[in-house]
Amino acid sequence: MIAIIDYGMGNLYSVSKALERMNADYILSSDEKELAKADGYILPGVGSFKDAMSILNETGLTSFIQKVVEEGKPLLGICLGMQLLFEESIENGEAKGLAFLPGKVIRIPEAAGSEQLKVPHMGWNNLNMKNESPLLAGLSSGYAYFVHSYYVDSAEEDTLLATASYGVEVPAVVGRGNVYGTQFHPEKSSELGLAILENYINIVEGEKR
């Protein structure tokens, strides 16, 4: 069973509906006793990094998430949820993240050389596959749907599973060990996104066995 972690800042409806369409066994909860029954977790997110970490810290969900990851249970962060997997962010002031992966979240520059960029980065963008991962099993290319103004800078090469180009190299899919993340919304990214969610379900089921 997969648990969607509800901390009040997530794209809960669209993620829930995607899992329902895939007939996945899931719950949506903020209660640690309920969440503890799950075999894997999805950490969604829409909004400010600093606000999200404040809520996770205040509710005790930070320590809960760290505990289940240490136990080896898979975790998938989506959009802001992916950024929270990293060490820190400058969005609305400095804030520490969950620090499962090395890297810092900074604002997308509004210009790259002579190219002027619209921020937020919004719309479909092509994925450049970088490293093999069970999260990307069976996928070699495709477009995903992004909506974000900040991106992970200085992520280590071995954590980059796929990137997208938007003036800078944007980490689009990341992972190390049992921790995974997508900067885009897989539940809104058509067949490619649903394939990634299906792969994550398989990862969780594999760990359970």
State the catalytic residues. Answer: 79, 185, 187
C-alpha to C-alpha distance for 78 and 64, rounded to whole angstroms: 18
Which token pair is 137? 């099993």
H or E element, residue 144: strand 143-148
163, 192, 85, 52: CA torsion to nearest 10:
120
Backbone angles phi, psi at 58, to 5 degrees: -65, -35
The SS3 call for residue 13 is: helix
| DSSP conformational letter for 149 | S
Per DSSP, the residues of 55-121 read: HHHHHTHHHHHHHHHHTT--EEEETHHHHTTEEEE-TTS-EE---SEEEEEEEPPSEETTEE--SSE
